[in-house]
A and B are shown apart, each in its own frame.
Chain A
Amino acid sequence: MFFLSTIRMSFSNLRANAMRTFLTMLGVIIGITSILALLTIGQGVTDSVIDQLSGLGGNRVTVTIRNTTVKPGFTDEELERFAHLEGVEGVAPQLSSYHTLTLMPKLTNSKYDGVYTISRRVMGVNDFYFSTYTKNAGMLYGRSISTDDVTHRTNVCVLGYDLWQRLYGNYSPVGEIIKVNNTDCTIIGVMNELVGIDVTGNNSLIVPYTTAVQTFSMGLPDSFDVVINTASETDEVIARVENLCATLLNSAGNNGYSVVNQEEILDMVLTITDLVLGMLAGIAVIALVVGGIGIMNMMLVTVSERTAEIGLRKALGARPSVIMLQFLIEAVIISLFGGIIGVLLGLGASYIASLLIGYTFRFNPMTAMLALLFSLIVGVIFGLLPARRAAKMNPIEALRSS
Chain B
Amino acid sequence: MPASKPVISLTDITKSYQMGDVHFPVLHGITFTVDAGEFVSVLGPSGSGKSTLMNIIGCLDVPDSGTYMLGHRTVKGLPERTMARIRNRDIGFVFQSFQLLPRISAIENVMLPLIYAKVPRAQRYARAMAELERVGLADKAGNLPRQLSGGQQQRVAIARALVTRPRILLADEPTGALDRTTGAQIMDIFQSLNKEGITVVMITHDHKVASFASRIVYILDGKLYSKEEYEALELGGEG
Give me the interface of A with B, judged by CB distance under 8 Å: 1-2, 5-6, 9, 12-13, 16, 308-309, 312-322, 395-396, 399, 402
Closest to A9 in B: B104
Closest to B99 in A: A312
28 contacts between A and B (CB under 8 A): A2-B115, A5-B115, A5-B121, A13-B103, A16-B103, A308-B99, A314-B60, A314-B87, A315-B93, A315-B99, A316-B87, A316-B93, A316-B116, A317-B88, A317-B116, A317-B117, A317-B164, A319-B81, A319-B84, A319-B116, A320-B81, A395-B60, A396-B61, A399-B60, A399-B95, A399-B99, A402-B97, A402-B99
- Determine whether the beta carbon of B81 is less than 8 Å from that of A1: no
Q: What are the residues of chain B within 8 A of A9 when measuring CB–CB?
A: 104
Distance (Å) between the CB of A325 and the closest chain B CB? 12
Distance (Å) between the CB of B124 and the closest chain A CB? 9
- Determine whether the beta carbon of B118 is less than 8 Å from that of A319: no
A5-B115, A12-B103 in contact; A318/B84 too (CB < 8 A)? yes
Give Cα A53–Cα B50 distance, bound, in whole angstroms: 84
The 8 closest A-B pairs by CB, nearest first: A317-B88, A317-B116, A319-B84, A319-B81, A316-B113, A312-B99, A317-B87, A395-B60
Give Cα A392–Cα B120 distance, bound, in whole angstroms: 27
Give Cα A322–Cα B99 distance, bound, in whole angstroms: 19
Closest to A306 in B: B101
Closest to A13 in B: B103
A315-B58, A317-B87, A399-B99 in contact; A1/B120 too (CB < 8 A)? yes
Q: Is B127 an interface residue (CB 8 A)?
A: no
Q: What are the residues of chain B within 8 A of A5 when measuring CB–CB?
A: 115, 121
Q: What are the residues of chain B within 8 A of A321 when measuring CB–CB?
A: 81
**Which one, A13, A16, A312, A317, contacts B89 given CB within 8 A?**
A317
Give me the interface of B with A, judged by CB distance under 8 Å: 55, 58, 60-61, 80-81, 84-85, 87-89, 93, 95, 97, 99, 101, 103-104, 112-113, 115-118, 120-121, 160, 164
Give Cα A318–Cα B88 distance, bound, in whole angstroms: 8
**Which one, A1, A16, A309, A318, contacts B116 given CB within 8 A?**
A318
Q: What are the residues of chain B within 8 A of A16 when measuring CB–CB?
A: 103
- Determine whether the beta carbon of A313 is less than 8 Å from that of B112: yes
Distance (Å) between the CB of A400 and the closest chain B CB? 9
Closest to A1 in B: B121
Closest to B116 in A: A317
Excluding A5-B115, A9-B104, A16-B103, 5 further A-B contacts by CB distance (< 8 Å) are A315-B58, A315-B93, A317-B117, A321-B81, A399-B99
Closest to B111 in A: A5
Give Cα A6–Cα B111 distance, bound, in whole angstroms: 13
Give Cα A355–Cα B25 distance, bound, in whole angstroms: 76
Q: What are the residues of chain B within 8 A of A13 when measuring CB–CB?
A: 103
Residue from A12, A16, A315 with most neighbouring chain B CB atoms (10 Å): A315
Give Cα A402–Cα B96 distance, bound, in whole angstroms: 11
Distance (Å) between the CB of B108 and the closest chain A CB? 9
Give Cα A91–Cα B152 distance, bound, in whole angstroms: 93
- Determine whether the beta carbon of B55 is less than 8 Å from that of A396: yes
Distance (Å) between the CB of B92 and the closest chain A CB? 9
Distance (Å) between the CB of B155 and the closest chain A CB? 17
Closest to A317 in B: B88
Q: What are the residues of chain B within 8 A of A314 when measuring CB–CB?
A: 60, 84, 87
Q: What are the residues of chain B within 8 A of A318 when measuring CB–CB?
A: 84, 88, 116
Give Cα A320–Cα B99 distance, bound, in whole angstroms: 19
Q: What are the residues of chain A within 8 A of B61 when measuring CB–CB?
A: 396
Residue from B85, B97, B112 with most neighbouring chain A CB atoms (10 Å): B112
Distance (Å) between the CB of A308 and the closest chain B CB? 7
Q: What are the residues of chain A within 8 A of B80 when measuring CB–CB?
A: 319-320
Closest to A321 in B: B81
